[in-house]
Amino acid sequence: MPILLKRAYEAPAASDGQRVLVDRLWPRGLTKARAGIDLWLKEVAPSTALRRWYGHDPARWEAFRQRYRSELEAHPALDALRAQARQGTITLVYAARDAQHTHALVLRELLEQGD
């Protein structure tokens, strides 16, 4: 069940498998053709309130991770993503610049734990 992570601004590759955008907002300045997104799952992104509170502040990372995991608890879209990952590679696509503090990392952890 390979689950990869990739910034939306990186070029799609055949090795990406199914590309799933996991942001609530479409990446700024990126056309749909250039993004190569197969599925856009807005509902698995952090809530607007949580996203604004976090503000990509690394000092809030651990608290953000816990709050985001709570938001995702028993979310039906997680089961759909897990099922998709069992069929082949999926790439969780996100727009954040900081690859070490992105919600996509937390989402991947949850997906891998549930299998």
Q: How does pLDDT run across 66-115, given as a tens digit for each residue?
A: 999 999 987 888 888 888 888 999 999 999 999 999 999 999 999 988 65
In angstroms, rounded to a whole number, what is the distance separating the alpha carbons of residues 55 and 34?
27
Please, which pLDDT band fits residue 20 given cuts at 50, 70 and 90?
Answer: very high
Torsion, CA 17, CA 78, CA 100, CA 48, rounded to 10:
120
Domain of residue 23: give its range. Answer: 3-113
The pLDDT value given to residue 115: 53
CA separation for the pair 27, 22 (Å, rounded): 10
CB 95 within 8 A of CB 37: no
Mean pLDDT of the chain: 92
Mean pLDDT of 42-61: 94
* pLDDT number for residue 64: 97
> Structure tokens of 86?
């069992």
In the predicted model, is pLDDT for residue 61 greater than 70?
A: yes
pLDDT at 82: 86
- Structural domains of the chain, count: 1
